[in-house]
Amino acid sequence: MADARTLRRESLARWFEAIRAAGRRILAPRARGDTTAFEEVTAPSEVAMDCVQTTLSPKAAVFPRCEELLRYERQGKDLRVTDPPLQPPETVLFGVRPCDAAAMEVLDAVFSADPPDRFFQTRRARTTVIAIACTQADAACFCTSVGLSPGSTLGSDILLTPTDGAGFAADVLTDKGRRIVELCPEAFGPAVAAQERRAVLAQVPVRFELKGLSDRLAALFDREELWVDQSLRCLGCGTCAFVCPVCACFDIQDEGTGRSGARLRCWDSCGFSLFTLHASGHNPRHLQSQRWRQRVMHKFSYAVGRLGRIACVGCGRCSRACPADMNLADHLQALAEAK
Amino acid sequence: MGCACHGDGNGSANVYRPYLMRIERIIDEAPAIKTFRLVFVHEEEGRSFTFLAGQFGEYGVFGEGESTFCIASSPTRKGYIECTFRQVGRVTTALADRDVGDVISFRGPYGNVFPVEQWRGKNLVFVAGGIALPPLRSVIWNVLDLRQDYGDITIVYGARSVADLVYKHELEEWKARGDVRVLTTVDPGGQTPDWKGEVGFVPAVVEKAAPSARDAVALVCGPPIMIKLTLPVLEKLGFAPDNIYTTLENRMKCGVGKCGRCNVGPYYVCKDGPVFTFAQLADLPPEY
C-alpha cells in the first residue's frame, strides 16, 4: 500500500543533502543548451524541473551506452581474463517521468530473463526511481495510448505529484522508496490536506487502440506496401533506438590489442543494416522497410509474447529526435486503422 | 547454462565470461575452411561441461571479437569440442591465424537441440550442402556411436566442387562402414577426373536416393536455395514438415536471448532455436 505524504519544494534541498550525505549520487534532468539529460546534481536548483521530457532517457544509469563485459591480458602464452570491476554507486534517479519509470520494468524483464544479466541487475538493484507526474505534455507524448498515464506509478519507487500549493504529494510505493524518504523524514509532511489539491495532470490524447494491436500487427506483417510507405523517410540512423528508454538491443565488440583490452557491449539498433547481416553477405532484413517493420513488430507484437508487455512507454522521444520527422504514434495509429 | 562463471558478490555470474580453450588440433577441410579441436584450459571446467547435438557457441579471439558456430563434434565424444568455420570476416580471419596450442575463448553451449534421443529406432536422412554439414556431423557421429539404436541412415552431401567438400576423410570413413548409405555430389563442373561420387545438385540426388519416409526423420542444412529445392523433394517422398529439421544461422552476439539480433517473429533463434522443424518455420516471417 502506498504511503502518502507531502513534500514542500523548499524541503527538497535538505532531502538532496541527506541523500548525498548517505553516499548516494542523484541523477536528474539537467539542461545543457538545447538538450536535457540525466546527470549528477547536488542541489534541486540544478534540476530542469519544467522540462517535458529529457532528450536522452535515464536508461544509461542501468544499461550504459558502452560497458565492459570482461578484460583480458596476455603475457607470453599466458592469458588472464577478469571480470571488470562492478561497483556502481547507489543512485537516486530524480525527476524521472512516469513513462521512463515504466520503461525500467521492461528492461527488468529483458535482463532478468534466464540467464540473468549481472551488469544490469547490479546497477538496477542500486537504483531508486523517483518520478514526477507530468503536468505538461507535448505533441509527441502518447503514454495514454500504451496503457500508461501522466501519473502512472509503474516502475517508480516514489511518485511525486505537484500540488497547487508549493510542493508535491509524495506516494512512497516501495521499500526502496521508503529507504530514501527515511534518509530525511523531516522533509516530509502528512498526506495532502483537503485544501491543497494535486495539480491537474497533463492531458494526453489516446492515439490508437492498444487492445488487439499485437494480433493486428501479426496480420499486417505481409502487407509490404504499408511498411514501405511508413519507412520511406527512414534514414536507418538508429537515433530512435538510442533515445528510447526501452530499447535494449546491443552489440558486443572487442576493443584493445592482442596483448590486452576489453570485451564491450554497446547499444545497437535493429534499424541498422549491419544488425542482421550474415557473414555470407545474406541479410534477412536487407530493406529499410523490413527493419522498420521489425522495430514496430518487436515492440508491439513479439514483446507481448516474450515479456508479457509491449516494449514502448509512449515517451515520444523517437518522434522528437527523428531527423526525418517520423512519428511513431502516427505510424501506430495508421497501422491500427489500416484496412 | 554454460559459462566460466565466477562470483564476486554481485549476485548472478557473468554470463558473457567465456571458457578458455586450447587448440589441440587444426584440420584444413577445404579452401578457407578449418576445423579446430578445442580442449578446456582449465580441466575442471571441461569435466562439468556437457552439450547436445544442435547446440552452438560463441568462439572468440581476444581483441578481435566473437563469432557464432555450432558445436560440430558429437556429445558422445567427451573431453573436447570441435568447430568448423570459413574464414570470411574479422573474427574468423583471426581464428584462422591461430596455431595449435593457442588459446581462444568459447561461450556455450547455447540453444536447443536435435531430439536425437527421441529418434531412437527411427531411420534418419541427412541432407547437407557446403559449409552446412558441421551441425549435422554432430548428429551423425552421435547416432553412429549408438548405431544399434537407430535404423537406416542415409547421408546426402554436396558442395560446389570436390575441393569444397568438408570432412573428406570422414565421408570416406562413413562410406566404408557399410551400415550407412552415403551419397556425395558436386555441382556440374565441380568434379575432378577421379571423382567417383555424383555430379548434380543436392535436391536431384535426394530424389535419386529416394529414402523412405516411413519411420523416418530428415535433417536438412544448407544454403537457402538448396533448402528451398530440397523440401518439395522430401515432401514428395512423404516427409511431413514436422519431421524435417534444420538449424537457423542468424547473426548473433550474446547467445543468451538479450541482444536482440537473432529475433525472428516471436522467436529468439539463440534461445528457441537454432533447431526448428519446417512446420515451425512455416509460421515464421522469412527473416533468416
Query: Is residue B126 within 8 Å of B139, Cβ to Cβ?
Result: yes
Task: Name, of A3-12, A255-264, B68-77, the range with top average pLDDT.
Answer: B68-77
Cβ atoms of B23 and B38 within 8 Å: the answer is yes
Element spanning B20, H or E? strand B19-30
Cβ-based neighbour number of residue B283 at 10 Å: 10
Q: Minimal Cα–Cα distance from A250 to chain B, Å?
A: 5
What's the distance, CA A49 to chain centroid? 18
Q: Is the pLDDT of residue B145 over 80?
A: yes
A269-325 pLDDT, tens digit each: 999 999 999 988 999 999 999 999 999 999 999 999 999 999 999 999 999 999 999
Residues on chain A touching B63 (C-beta within 8 angstroms)? 72, 254, 256-259, 261
**pLDDT reported for residue B175:** 97
- Phi first, then psi, for residue B95 (nearest 5°) are -60, -45
Question: Considering chain A, what is the average pLDDT of its residues?
Answer: 94
pLDDT for the residue B202: 98
Place of cell 596450442: B101
Which positions in chain B touch A86 (Cβ < 8 Å)? 8, 10
CA distance B184 to B205: 9
Residue A164 pLDDT: 80
The yes-or-no verdict on residue B230 having pLDDT over 60 is: yes
Mean pLDDT of A146-156: 97
Give tens-digit pLDDT for A218-236. 999 999 999 999 999 999 9
**Full-model pTM:** 0.93
What does the mean pLDDT of chain B come to? 94
Shortest distance between the Cα of B116 and any Cα of chain A, in A, equals 25
Using alpha carbons, list the distances in angstroms from residue A5 to A162, A185, A331.
12, 10, 41
Is B17 within 8 Å of A69 when comparing Cβ atoms? Answer: yes
Tens-place pLDDT, residues A92-123? 999 999 999 999 999 999 999 999 999 999 99
- Cβ atoms of B126 and B134 closer than 8 Å: no
Residue A141 has pLDDT above 80, yes or no: yes
Helices then strands, each counted (H, E), chain A: 11, 12
pLDDT for the residue numbered A2: 66
Domains of chain B (ranges; CATH) run 19-110 (2.40.30.10), 117-247 (3.40.50.80)
**Cα A186 to chain center, whole Å?**
31
Mean pLDDT of B37-51: 95
Cβ–Cβ of B287/A284 closer than 8 Å?
yes
Nearest to B287 among A79, A251, A285 (CB): A285
pLDDT given at position B7: 47
Residue A165 has pLDDT above 80, yes or no: no
Identify the H or E element spanning B123. strand B123-129
pLDDT above 50 for B1: no
| Nearest residue in chain B measured CA to CA from A282 | B288
- Whether the per-residue pLDDT at B229 is higher than 80: the answer is yes
Q: Say if strands A3-8 and A188-189 run parallel, antiparallel, or are unpaired.
A: antiparallel
Return the higher-pLDDT residue of A192 and A166: A166
pLDDT of res. B9: 53
Average pLDDT (B25-35) is 97
CB-based contact A142:A316 (threshold 8 Å):
yes
Single-letter amino acid code for the residue at B14: N
**Strand B123-129's sheet: what is its strand order?**
B198-199, B181-186, B153-159, B123-129, B216-221, B244-247, B275-277
The answer to whether residue A192 scores a pLDDT higher than 90 is no
Give the per-residue pLDDT at A77: 76
Residue B10: pLDDT band by 50, 70, 90 thresholds?
Answer: low
CA-based nearest residue to B69, from B183, B221, B185, B242: B221
Between the alpha carbon of residue B232 and those of residues A327, B216, B222, B228, B275, the distances in Å are 44, 16, 15, 8, 20
**What would the DSSP string read from start to end of A228-274?**
HHHHTT-----HHHHH-SS---EEEEEEE-SSEEEEEEEE--TTSGG
Segment A146-170 shows an average pLDDT of 93
Confidence of residue B2 (pLDDT cuts 50, 70, 90): very low
Domains in chain A: boundaries: 3-189, 213-337
Identity of the residue in A83, A278, A285 whose CB atom sits nearest the CB atom of B14? A83
How far apart (Å, rounded) are the C-alpha atoms in residues B109 and B113? 10
